[in-house]
Structure 1
Amino acid sequence: MSATADIHAYPQAEDAFAACADFLVDRLAAAVRARGIARIALAGGGTPRRLYQLLAHRYRDALDWQAVEFYFGDERNVPLDHPDSNFRMARLALFEPLGIQPHRTFPMISDQQRDPEWDADAYETALRRWTAGAVPRFDVTLLGLGSDGHFASLFPDTPALAERERLVVVNPVAKLHGHRLTLTFPVFEAARDVVFLVLGADKRRAFARIRDGKSERPAERLAAERTTHWFVDRAAAGAP
Protein backbone atom coordinates (compact mmCIF):
# COMPACT_ATOMS: atom_id res chain seq x y z
CA MET A 1 0.00 0.00 0.00
CA SER A 2 1.23 3.50 -0.79
CA ALA A 3 2.19 5.34 2.36
CA THR A 4 0.24 8.37 1.16
CA ALA A 5 -3.04 6.60 0.25
CA ASP A 6 -5.65 7.01 3.00
CA ILE A 7 -8.11 4.26 2.07
CA HIS A 8 -11.69 3.96 3.35
CA ALA A 9 -13.50 0.84 2.10
CA TYR A 10 -17.23 0.22 2.61
CA PRO A 11 -19.57 -2.75 2.04
CA GLN A 12 -21.85 -0.94 -0.40
CA ALA A 13 -21.59 1.96 -2.82
CA GLU A 14 -24.14 3.94 -0.82
CA ASP A 15 -21.92 3.70 2.26
CA ALA A 16 -18.98 5.04 0.28
CA PHE A 17 -21.10 7.90 -1.07
CA ALA A 18 -22.20 8.88 2.44
CA ALA A 19 -18.70 8.73 3.90
CA CYS A 20 -17.28 10.73 1.01
CA ALA A 21 -20.03 13.33 1.43
CA ASP A 22 -19.22 13.62 5.14
CA PHE A 23 -15.55 14.15 4.34
CA LEU A 24 -16.22 16.79 1.67
CA VAL A 25 -18.61 18.75 3.85
CA ASP A 26 -16.14 18.67 6.75
CA ARG A 27 -13.30 19.98 4.58
CA LEU A 28 -15.38 22.63 2.85
CA ALA A 29 -16.86 23.87 6.13
CA ALA A 30 -13.36 24.09 7.64
CA ALA A 31 -12.20 26.14 4.65
CA VAL A 32 -15.14 28.54 5.00
CA ARG A 33 -14.38 28.98 8.70
CA ALA A 34 -10.69 29.58 8.05
CA ARG A 35 -10.82 31.77 4.94
CA GLY A 36 -14.44 32.75 4.37
CA ILE A 37 -14.57 30.79 1.12
CA ALA A 38 -14.09 27.22 -0.07
CA ARG A 39 -13.09 26.11 -3.55
CA ILE A 40 -13.62 22.63 -4.95
CA ALA A 41 -12.81 21.07 -8.31
CA LEU A 42 -15.55 18.57 -9.13
CA ALA A 43 -15.34 15.22 -10.90
CA GLY A 44 -17.52 14.35 -13.86
CA GLY A 45 -18.83 11.16 -15.37
CA GLY A 46 -21.57 9.00 -13.91
CA THR A 47 -20.04 7.94 -10.59
CA PRO A 48 -20.35 11.20 -8.60
CA ARG A 49 -23.96 11.95 -9.55
CA ARG A 50 -25.33 10.14 -6.49
CA LEU A 51 -22.75 11.91 -4.31
CA TYR A 52 -23.92 15.30 -5.59
CA GLN A 53 -27.54 14.34 -4.96
CA LEU A 54 -26.68 13.45 -1.36
CA LEU A 55 -24.86 16.73 -0.84
CA ALA A 56 -27.77 18.68 -2.28
CA HIS A 57 -30.43 17.07 -0.10
CA ARG A 58 -29.06 15.37 3.01
CA TYR A 59 -26.34 18.01 3.53
CA ARG A 60 -28.07 21.13 2.28
CA ASP A 61 -27.98 22.73 5.77
CA ALA A 62 -24.54 21.42 6.74
CA LEU A 63 -22.64 24.51 5.59
CA ASP A 64 -23.06 27.81 3.80
CA TRP A 65 -23.06 26.53 0.23
CA GLN A 66 -23.11 30.08 -1.12
CA ALA A 67 -19.58 30.45 0.28
CA VAL A 68 -18.34 27.64 -1.99
CA GLU A 69 -16.96 28.11 -5.49
CA PHE A 70 -17.30 25.13 -7.84
CA TYR A 71 -14.77 24.39 -10.54
CA PHE A 72 -14.11 21.26 -12.62
CA GLY A 73 -11.14 18.94 -12.94
CA ASP A 74 -11.88 18.19 -16.57
CA GLU A 75 -14.53 18.45 -19.24
CA ARG A 76 -15.58 17.01 -22.56
CA ASN A 77 -15.61 19.48 -25.43
CA VAL A 78 -19.40 19.56 -25.74
CA PRO A 79 -21.99 22.31 -25.15
CA LEU A 80 -23.01 22.96 -21.56
CA ASP A 81 -26.46 21.47 -22.14
CA HIS A 82 -25.14 18.30 -23.81
CA PRO A 83 -25.94 15.00 -22.03
CA ASP A 84 -22.20 14.23 -21.81
CA SER A 85 -21.32 17.55 -20.17
CA ASN A 86 -19.83 17.28 -16.68
CA PHE A 87 -21.17 20.75 -15.96
CA ARG A 88 -24.71 19.76 -16.93
CA MET A 89 -24.62 16.74 -14.63
CA ALA A 90 -23.40 18.85 -11.69
CA ARG A 91 -25.90 21.60 -12.45
CA LEU A 92 -28.84 19.21 -12.37
CA ALA A 93 -27.70 17.10 -9.41
CA LEU A 94 -26.05 19.75 -7.22
CA PHE A 95 -26.19 23.41 -8.25
CA GLU A 96 -29.88 23.79 -9.00
CA PRO A 97 -31.14 21.76 -5.99
CA LEU A 98 -28.93 23.84 -3.68
CA GLY A 99 -29.82 27.11 -5.39
CA ILE A 100 -26.16 27.91 -6.07
CA GLN A 101 -25.79 31.30 -7.72
CA PRO A 102 -24.36 31.07 -11.26
CA HIS A 103 -21.39 33.29 -10.40
CA ARG A 104 -20.24 30.60 -7.95
CA THR A 105 -19.96 27.94 -10.68
CA PHE A 106 -17.16 27.85 -13.24
CA PRO A 107 -17.70 25.62 -16.29
CA MET A 108 -14.65 24.85 -18.41
CA ILE A 109 -16.54 25.20 -21.68
CA SER A 110 -17.76 28.61 -22.78
CA ASP A 111 -20.51 29.58 -25.18
CA GLN A 112 -18.03 30.27 -27.97
CA GLN A 113 -17.81 26.49 -28.67
CA ARG A 114 -15.26 26.83 -31.44
CA ASP A 115 -11.79 26.85 -29.98
CA PRO A 116 -10.98 24.58 -27.00
CA GLU A 117 -7.57 26.23 -26.65
CA TRP A 118 -9.37 29.52 -26.04
CA ASP A 119 -11.44 27.88 -23.32
CA ALA A 120 -8.34 26.38 -21.70
CA ASP A 121 -6.63 29.78 -21.68
CA ALA A 122 -9.72 31.47 -20.26
CA TYR A 123 -10.04 28.87 -17.49
CA GLU A 124 -6.41 29.25 -16.56
CA THR A 125 -6.89 33.02 -16.35
CA ALA A 126 -9.88 32.50 -14.05
CA LEU A 127 -7.82 30.25 -11.76
CA ARG A 128 -4.91 32.65 -11.60
CA ARG A 129 -7.19 35.48 -10.45
CA TRP A 130 -7.43 34.02 -6.95
CA THR A 131 -4.15 32.20 -6.45
CA ALA A 132 -1.51 33.82 -4.29
CA GLY A 133 1.24 31.72 -5.86
CA ALA A 134 2.15 30.14 -9.15
CA VAL A 135 -0.44 27.37 -8.73
CA PRO A 136 -3.94 27.75 -7.23
CA ARG A 137 -4.60 25.74 -4.10
CA PHE A 138 -8.03 24.15 -4.14
CA ASP A 139 -9.44 23.14 -0.80
CA VAL A 140 -10.63 19.86 -2.33
CA THR A 141 -10.28 18.15 -5.68
CA LEU A 142 -12.73 15.31 -6.21
CA LEU A 143 -11.60 12.63 -8.64
CA GLY A 144 -12.54 9.29 -10.10
CA LEU A 145 -10.27 6.45 -11.17
CA GLY A 146 -10.36 5.01 -14.67
CA SER A 147 -9.78 1.33 -15.29
CA ASP A 148 -6.62 2.39 -17.16
CA GLY A 149 -5.39 4.41 -14.17
CA HIS A 150 -6.38 7.84 -15.47
CA PHE A 151 -7.93 10.60 -13.39
CA ALA A 152 -9.58 13.82 -14.54
CA SER A 153 -8.57 13.69 -18.24
CA LEU A 154 -4.96 12.83 -17.54
CA PHE A 155 -4.83 9.58 -19.47
CA PRO A 156 -1.80 7.31 -19.83
CA ASP A 157 0.51 8.18 -22.73
CA THR A 158 -0.96 11.62 -23.35
CA PRO A 159 0.99 14.90 -23.57
CA ALA A 160 -0.71 16.58 -20.61
CA LEU A 161 1.11 14.27 -18.21
CA ALA A 162 4.37 16.15 -18.80
CA GLU A 163 2.89 19.65 -18.41
CA ARG A 164 4.40 21.61 -15.50
CA GLU A 165 3.71 25.25 -16.47
CA ARG A 166 0.15 25.39 -17.71
CA LEU A 167 -2.76 24.90 -15.29
CA VAL A 168 -5.31 23.89 -17.93
CA VAL A 169 -4.65 22.18 -21.27
CA VAL A 170 -6.42 20.56 -24.18
CA ASN A 171 -5.31 16.95 -23.97
CA PRO A 172 -5.64 14.74 -27.09
CA VAL A 173 -6.70 11.20 -26.16
CA ALA A 174 -6.19 8.83 -29.07
CA LYS A 175 -8.33 6.01 -27.70
CA LEU A 176 -11.27 8.40 -27.36
CA HIS A 177 -10.68 9.76 -30.87
CA GLY A 178 -10.84 13.27 -29.50
CA HIS A 179 -9.60 15.60 -26.83
CA ARG A 180 -10.57 16.74 -23.34
CA LEU A 181 -9.92 19.87 -21.29
CA THR A 182 -8.18 19.07 -18.03
CA LEU A 183 -6.40 20.58 -15.09
CA THR A 184 -2.76 19.53 -14.95
CA PHE A 185 -0.68 17.66 -12.39
CA PRO A 186 0.62 20.76 -10.56
CA VAL A 187 -2.95 21.79 -9.66
CA PHE A 188 -3.79 18.43 -8.13
CA GLU A 189 -0.44 18.25 -6.36
CA ALA A 190 -1.10 21.63 -4.71
CA ALA A 191 -4.65 20.94 -3.44
CA ARG A 192 -5.21 20.82 0.30
CA ASP A 193 -7.14 17.56 -0.07
CA VAL A 194 -7.35 15.13 -2.99
CA VAL A 195 -10.33 12.77 -2.78
CA PHE A 196 -10.94 9.75 -5.01
CA LEU A 197 -14.37 8.10 -5.23
CA VAL A 198 -13.97 4.61 -6.74
CA LEU A 199 -16.86 2.20 -7.19
CA GLY A 200 -17.44 -1.05 -9.04
CA ALA A 201 -15.65 -4.24 -9.94
CA ASP A 202 -14.36 -2.76 -13.20
CA LYS A 203 -12.05 -0.57 -11.11
CA ARG A 204 -10.66 -3.43 -9.02
CA ARG A 205 -7.42 -3.95 -10.94
CA ALA A 206 -6.68 -0.24 -11.16
CA PHE A 207 -7.35 0.24 -7.46
CA ALA A 208 -5.23 -2.80 -6.53
CA ARG A 209 -2.26 -1.07 -8.16
CA ILE A 210 -2.86 1.97 -5.93
CA ARG A 211 -3.08 -0.24 -2.87
CA ASP A 212 0.14 -1.99 -3.87
CA GLY A 213 2.03 1.28 -4.25
CA LYS A 214 2.55 1.22 -8.03
CA SER A 215 3.56 4.53 -9.58
CA GLU A 216 3.52 4.16 -13.38
CA ARG A 217 -0.01 5.27 -14.25
CA PRO A 218 -1.39 8.80 -13.69
CA ALA A 219 -3.45 8.14 -10.53
CA GLU A 220 -0.67 5.97 -9.12
CA ARG A 221 1.82 8.75 -9.70
CA LEU A 222 -0.35 11.27 -7.86
CA ALA A 223 -0.88 8.87 -4.94
CA ALA A 224 2.88 8.30 -4.75
CA GLU A 225 3.59 12.04 -4.63
CA ARG A 226 1.12 13.27 -2.01
CA THR A 227 -1.58 12.25 0.45
CA THR A 228 -4.76 11.10 -1.24
CA HIS A 229 -8.06 10.02 0.33
CA TRP A 230 -9.87 7.04 -1.21
CA PHE A 231 -13.54 6.15 -0.73
CA VAL A 232 -14.22 2.76 -2.29
CA ASP A 233 -16.87 0.07 -2.19
CA ARG A 234 -16.32 -3.66 -1.70
CA ALA A 235 -16.55 -4.35 -5.41
CA ALA A 236 -13.66 -2.00 -6.18
CA ALA A 237 -11.62 -2.95 -3.12
CA GLY A 238 -11.87 -6.66 -3.88
CA ALA A 239 -12.90 -7.49 -0.33
CA PRO A 240 -14.71 -10.81 0.22
Structure 2
Amino acid sequence: MDLKIYKDKQEVAEQFSGYFVDQLKNKDTFHVALSGGSTPKIVFDVLAENFTDKVDWNKVHFYWGDERCVPPTDDESNYKMTVEHLFSKIKVPKENINRILGEKDPEGEALRYANLLEIDLDRVEEVPQFDLVILGMGDDGHTASIFPHEIELWDSEDHCVVATHPDSGQKRVSINGKVINAAKEVAFLVTGASKAEKVEAVVERTEGSEAYPASLVNPASGNLVWFLDEEAASKLNQNPS
Protein backbone atom coordinates (compact mmCIF):
# COMPACT_ATOMS: atom_id res chain seq x y z
CA MET A 1 0.00 0.00 0.00
CA ASP A 2 1.03 3.58 -0.56
CA LEU A 3 0.65 5.91 2.43
CA LYS A 4 0.36 9.62 1.76
CA ILE A 5 0.19 11.81 4.85
CA TYR A 6 -0.62 15.51 4.69
CA LYS A 7 -1.02 18.34 7.17
CA ASP A 8 -4.80 18.62 7.32
CA LYS A 9 -8.09 17.73 5.63
CA GLN A 10 -7.79 20.57 3.12
CA GLU A 11 -4.36 19.45 1.94
CA VAL A 12 -5.56 15.84 1.72
CA ALA A 13 -8.43 17.02 -0.52
CA GLU A 14 -6.11 19.08 -2.73
CA GLN A 15 -3.56 16.29 -3.13
CA PHE A 16 -6.24 13.68 -3.76
CA SER A 17 -7.82 15.90 -6.42
CA GLY A 18 -4.51 16.06 -8.27
CA TYR A 19 -4.19 12.28 -8.00
CA PHE A 20 -7.75 11.82 -9.29
CA VAL A 21 -7.13 14.00 -12.33
CA ASP A 22 -3.88 12.13 -13.04
CA GLN A 23 -5.85 8.88 -13.06
CA LEU A 24 -8.00 10.21 -15.92
CA LYS A 25 -5.06 10.85 -18.25
CA ASN A 26 -4.92 8.72 -21.39
CA LYS A 27 -8.29 7.13 -20.61
CA ASP A 28 -11.22 7.24 -23.03
CA THR A 29 -13.70 6.35 -20.30
CA PHE A 30 -13.28 6.29 -16.55
CA HIS A 31 -15.62 4.61 -14.08
CA VAL A 32 -15.35 5.78 -10.49
CA ALA A 33 -17.23 4.80 -7.33
CA LEU A 34 -17.63 7.79 -5.02
CA SER A 35 -17.78 7.93 -1.25
CA GLY A 36 -19.81 10.14 1.06
CA GLY A 37 -18.37 11.94 4.06
CA SER A 38 -16.76 15.20 5.07
CA THR A 39 -13.44 14.69 3.24
CA PRO A 40 -14.98 13.83 -0.17
CA LYS A 41 -17.13 16.95 0.25
CA ILE A 42 -13.95 19.06 0.29
CA VAL A 43 -12.51 17.02 -2.60
CA PHE A 44 -15.59 17.83 -4.68
CA ASP A 45 -15.21 21.52 -3.82
CA VAL A 46 -11.56 21.45 -4.92
CA LEU A 47 -12.37 19.59 -8.15
CA ALA A 48 -15.15 22.06 -8.95
CA GLU A 49 -13.02 25.07 -8.16
CA ASN A 50 -9.71 24.05 -9.77
CA PHE A 51 -10.50 21.46 -12.43
CA THR A 52 -13.85 22.43 -13.97
CA ASP A 53 -12.27 23.22 -17.35
CA LYS A 54 -9.17 21.03 -17.04
CA VAL A 55 -11.01 17.72 -17.14
CA ASP A 56 -13.10 16.21 -19.92
CA TRP A 57 -16.03 15.29 -17.69
CA ASN A 58 -17.73 13.57 -20.65
CA LYS A 59 -15.48 10.55 -20.14
CA VAL A 60 -16.01 10.23 -16.39
CA HIS A 61 -18.83 7.94 -15.30
CA PHE A 62 -19.88 8.35 -11.67
CA TYR A 63 -21.24 5.66 -9.36
CA TRP A 64 -21.41 5.29 -5.58
CA GLY A 65 -19.81 2.73 -3.33
CA ASP A 66 -22.76 3.06 -0.98
CA GLU A 67 -25.85 5.12 -0.37
CA ARG A 68 -28.21 5.66 2.52
CA CYS A 69 -31.79 4.56 1.86
CA VAL A 70 -33.22 8.07 1.77
CA PRO A 71 -34.65 10.22 -1.06
CA PRO A 72 -32.16 12.18 -3.22
CA THR A 73 -33.45 15.40 -1.64
CA ASP A 74 -32.54 14.24 1.89
CA ASP A 75 -29.57 15.88 3.61
CA GLU A 76 -28.22 12.38 4.41
CA SER A 77 -28.04 11.46 0.72
CA ASN A 78 -24.51 10.99 -0.64
CA TYR A 79 -25.92 11.81 -4.06
CA LYS A 80 -27.36 15.15 -2.87
CA MET A 81 -24.03 16.12 -1.33
CA THR A 82 -22.22 15.34 -4.60
CA VAL A 83 -24.73 17.38 -6.62
CA GLU A 84 -24.31 20.37 -4.32
CA HIS A 85 -20.52 20.27 -4.18
CA LEU A 86 -19.58 18.94 -7.65
CA PHE A 87 -22.23 18.17 -10.27
CA SER A 88 -23.95 21.55 -10.00
CA LYS A 89 -20.61 23.23 -10.80
CA ILE A 90 -19.23 21.13 -13.66
CA LYS A 91 -20.51 20.08 -17.08
CA VAL A 92 -21.12 16.36 -16.82
CA PRO A 93 -23.68 14.51 -18.97
CA LYS A 94 -26.70 13.37 -16.94
CA GLU A 95 -26.32 9.86 -18.34
CA ASN A 96 -22.83 9.67 -16.75
CA ILE A 97 -24.33 9.94 -13.26
CA ASN A 98 -25.47 6.55 -12.00
CA ARG A 99 -26.97 7.04 -8.59
CA ILE A 100 -28.18 4.40 -6.18
CA LEU A 101 -31.93 5.03 -5.83
CA GLY A 102 -32.08 5.39 -2.06
CA GLU A 103 -35.82 6.03 -2.11
CA LYS A 104 -36.59 2.58 -3.58
CA ASP A 105 -36.99 -0.75 -1.80
CA PRO A 106 -33.43 -1.58 -0.64
CA GLU A 107 -33.42 -5.25 -1.68
CA GLY A 108 -34.74 -4.49 -5.15
CA GLU A 109 -32.39 -1.54 -5.56
CA ALA A 110 -29.34 -3.61 -4.57
CA LEU A 111 -30.25 -6.08 -7.32
CA ARG A 112 -30.84 -3.30 -9.87
CA TYR A 113 -27.57 -1.55 -9.08
CA ALA A 114 -25.57 -4.78 -9.18
CA ASN A 115 -27.09 -5.47 -12.59
CA LEU A 116 -26.21 -1.94 -13.75
CA LEU A 117 -22.57 -2.45 -12.72
CA GLU A 118 -22.46 -5.79 -14.50
CA ILE A 119 -23.73 -4.15 -17.71
CA ASP A 120 -21.68 -0.92 -17.56
CA LEU A 121 -18.30 -2.14 -16.34
CA ASP A 122 -15.75 -4.57 -17.66
CA ARG A 123 -15.65 -7.72 -15.56
CA VAL A 124 -12.81 -9.69 -14.06
CA GLU A 125 -13.80 -13.25 -13.21
CA GLU A 126 -17.44 -12.15 -13.35
CA VAL A 127 -16.89 -9.23 -10.95
CA PRO A 128 -17.50 -5.65 -12.22
CA GLN A 129 -14.26 -3.65 -12.31
CA PHE A 130 -14.11 0.06 -11.51
CA ASP A 131 -11.15 2.16 -12.60
CA LEU A 132 -11.18 3.73 -9.14
CA VAL A 133 -13.06 3.07 -5.91
CA ILE A 134 -12.89 5.89 -3.34
CA LEU A 135 -13.41 4.73 0.23
CA GLY A 136 -13.76 6.34 3.61
CA MET A 137 -13.43 4.61 6.96
CA GLY A 138 -15.61 5.04 10.03
CA ASP A 139 -14.43 5.29 13.62
CA ASP A 140 -15.56 1.65 13.96
CA GLY A 141 -13.43 0.46 11.01
CA HIS A 142 -16.32 0.15 8.55
CA THR A 143 -15.87 1.01 4.90
CA ALA A 144 -18.45 1.57 2.15
CA SER A 145 -21.45 0.44 4.23
CA ILE A 146 -19.99 -2.86 5.39
CA PHE A 147 -20.01 -2.63 9.18
CA PRO A 148 -18.15 -4.88 11.65
CA HIS A 149 -21.38 -6.51 12.90
CA GLU A 150 -22.22 -7.56 9.31
CA ILE A 151 -18.71 -8.30 8.08
CA GLU A 152 -20.01 -11.42 6.33
CA LEU A 153 -21.58 -9.10 3.71
CA TRP A 154 -18.04 -8.46 2.47
CA ASP A 155 -17.98 -11.87 0.76
CA SER A 156 -21.61 -11.85 -0.35
CA GLU A 157 -22.43 -13.54 -3.65
CA ASP A 158 -24.33 -10.41 -4.64
CA HIS A 159 -22.22 -7.52 -5.91
CA CYS A 160 -24.45 -5.08 -4.04
CA VAL A 161 -25.84 -5.75 -0.58
CA VAL A 162 -28.30 -4.21 1.87
CA ALA A 163 -26.55 -3.17 5.08
CA THR A 164 -27.96 -1.89 8.36
CA HIS A 165 -26.32 0.86 10.40
CA PRO A 166 -25.58 -0.63 13.85
CA ASP A 167 -26.90 2.35 15.82
CA SER A 168 -29.63 4.02 13.78
CA GLY A 169 -30.89 0.88 12.03
CA GLN A 170 -30.86 2.86 8.78
CA LYS A 171 -30.72 0.67 5.67
CA ARG A 172 -28.00 1.26 3.10
CA VAL A 173 -27.12 -0.17 -0.28
CA SER A 174 -23.41 -0.93 -0.70
CA ILE A 175 -21.03 -2.60 -3.10
CA ASN A 176 -19.41 -5.69 -1.57
CA GLY A 177 -15.78 -6.58 -0.94
CA LYS A 178 -15.34 -8.47 -4.19
CA VAL A 179 -16.20 -5.35 -6.20
CA ILE A 180 -13.91 -3.18 -4.07
CA ASN A 181 -10.98 -5.57 -4.44
CA ALA A 182 -11.54 -6.02 -8.19
CA ALA A 183 -10.97 -2.30 -8.84
CA LYS A 184 -7.92 -1.18 -10.79
CA GLU A 185 -7.21 1.38 -8.08
CA VAL A 186 -8.55 1.87 -4.54
CA ALA A 187 -8.04 5.05 -2.53
CA PHE A 188 -8.88 5.63 1.12
CA LEU A 189 -9.61 9.19 2.25
CA VAL A 190 -9.35 9.25 6.04
CA THR A 191 -8.96 12.33 8.22
CA GLY A 192 -9.33 13.29 11.87
CA ALA A 193 -8.02 12.14 15.23
CA SER A 194 -11.06 9.91 15.84
CA LYS A 195 -9.83 7.61 13.04
CA ALA A 196 -6.23 7.25 14.29
CA GLU A 197 -6.78 4.07 16.31
CA LYS A 198 -8.45 2.18 13.45
CA VAL A 199 -5.93 3.51 10.90
CA GLU A 200 -3.15 2.06 13.04
CA ALA A 201 -4.97 -1.27 13.40
CA VAL A 202 -5.79 -1.63 9.70
CA VAL A 203 -2.51 -0.34 8.23
CA GLU A 204 -0.23 -2.13 10.68
CA ARG A 205 -2.46 -5.21 10.93
CA THR A 206 -2.45 -5.29 14.69
CA GLU A 207 -4.06 -8.16 16.55
CA GLY A 208 -7.83 -8.25 16.03
CA SER A 209 -7.74 -5.89 13.05
CA GLU A 210 -9.41 -8.48 10.83
CA ALA A 211 -12.68 -7.66 12.63
CA TYR A 212 -12.72 -4.32 10.79
CA PRO A 213 -14.07 -4.39 7.22
CA ALA A 214 -11.49 -1.76 6.16
CA SER A 215 -8.77 -4.33 6.87
CA LEU A 216 -10.19 -6.55 4.12
CA VAL A 217 -9.47 -3.98 1.42
CA ASN A 218 -6.72 -5.62 -0.60
CA PRO A 219 -7.18 -5.01 -4.33
CA ALA A 220 -5.90 -7.75 -6.61
CA SER A 221 -4.19 -5.01 -8.66
CA GLY A 222 -2.01 -4.12 -5.67
CA ASN A 223 -2.94 -0.46 -6.19
CA LEU A 224 -4.07 0.76 -2.77
CA VAL A 225 -3.42 4.36 -1.71
CA TRP A 226 -4.18 5.91 1.68
CA PHE A 227 -4.63 9.69 1.82
CA LEU A 228 -4.37 10.65 5.50
CA ASP A 229 -4.03 13.82 7.49
CA GLU A 230 -1.55 14.04 10.35
CA GLU A 231 -4.28 13.49 12.94
CA ALA A 232 -5.51 10.26 11.36
CA ALA A 233 -1.92 9.04 10.91
CA SER A 234 -0.78 10.05 14.41
CA LYS A 235 -0.46 6.49 15.75
CA LEU A 236 1.41 5.07 12.74
CA ASN A 237 5.06 4.05 12.79
CA GLN A 238 5.53 4.84 9.10
CA ASN A 239 7.07 8.04 7.82
CA PRO A 240 4.99 10.16 5.45
CA SER A 241 5.62 9.71 1.73
What is the TM-score when the length of structure 1 is the normalising length?
0.89
2-side partners of 1:222 and 1:62: how far apart?
31
Per the TM alignment, residue 136 of structure 1 is displaced from its structure 2 partner at its CA by 1.3
Q: Unpaired segments of 5 or more residues in structure 2?
A: 237-241
2-side partners of 1:66 and 1:114: how far apart?
28
Per the TM alignment, residue 129 of structure 1 is displaced from its structure 2 partner at its CA by 0.8
**What is the RMSD of the two structures over their aligned residues, measured on CA atoms?**
1.8
2-side partners of 1:137 and 1:161: how far apart?
16
Per the TM alignment, residue 12 of structure 1 is displaced from its structure 2 partner at its CA by 2.0
Partner of 1:11 in structure 2?
7
2:127 aligned to which of 128, 135, 155:
135
Per the TM alignment, residue 224 of structure 1 is displaced from its structure 2 partner at its CA by 8.4
Quick one: which amino acid aligns to residue 20 of structure 1?
Answer: F
Contact 2:185 2:224 in 1 (8 A): yes
Q: Helix, strand or coil: the match of 2:73? A: coil
Partner of 1:221 in structure 2?
216
Partner of 1:234 in structure 2?
230
What is the TM-score when the length of structure 2 is the normalising length?
0.89
Partner of 1:161 in structure 2?
154
Per the TM alignment, residue 119 of structure 1 is displaced from its structure 2 partner at its CA by 1.1
Indicate how the Cα distance of structure 1 residues 131 and 48 shifts in structure 2: closer, same or farther if over 3 A, else same. closer
2-side partners of 1:237 and 1:190: how far apart?
26
Q: Helix, strand or coil: the match of 1:236? A: coil
2-side partners of 1:141 and 1:80: how far apart?
21
User: Alpha-carbon deviations, 1:32-57, whole Å to 9, x = none?
Assistant: 2xxx1001000012221010110111
1:53-64 to 2 correspondences below 5 Å? 53-64=45-56
Indicate how the Cα distance of structure 1 residues 115 and 60 shifts in structure 2: closer, same or farther if over 3 A, else same. same
Q: 2:111 matched to 1:121?
A: yes
Per the TM alignment, residue 132 of structure 1 is displaced from its structure 2 partner at its CA by 3.6
2-side partners of 1:239 and 1:101: how far apart?
43
Q: Helix, strand or coil: the match of 2:197? A: helix
Q: Percent identity?
A: 32
Per the TM alignment, residue 166 of structure 1 is displaced from its structure 2 partner at its CA by 1.0
Quick one: which amino acid aligns to residue 16 of structure 1?
Answer: V
Q: Helix, strand or coil: the match of 1:196? A: strand
1:40-189 to 2 correspondences below 5 Å? 40-109=32-101, 113-133=103-123, 134-158=126-150, 159-163=152-156, 165-189=157-181
Q: Helix, strand or coil: the match of 1:47? A: helix
4+ residue segments displaced more than 3 Å = 223-227
Q: Helix, strand or coil: the match of 1:118? A: helix
2-side partners of 1:224 and 1:210: how far apart?
15
Indicate how the Cα distance of structure 1 residues 26 and 116 shifts in structure 2: closer, same or farther if over 3 A, else same. same
Structure 1 residues 47-56 or 172-181, which shifts more? 172-181
Structure 1 residues 8-17 or 85-94, which shifts more? 8-17
Q: Unpaired segments of 5 or more residues in structure 1?
A: none
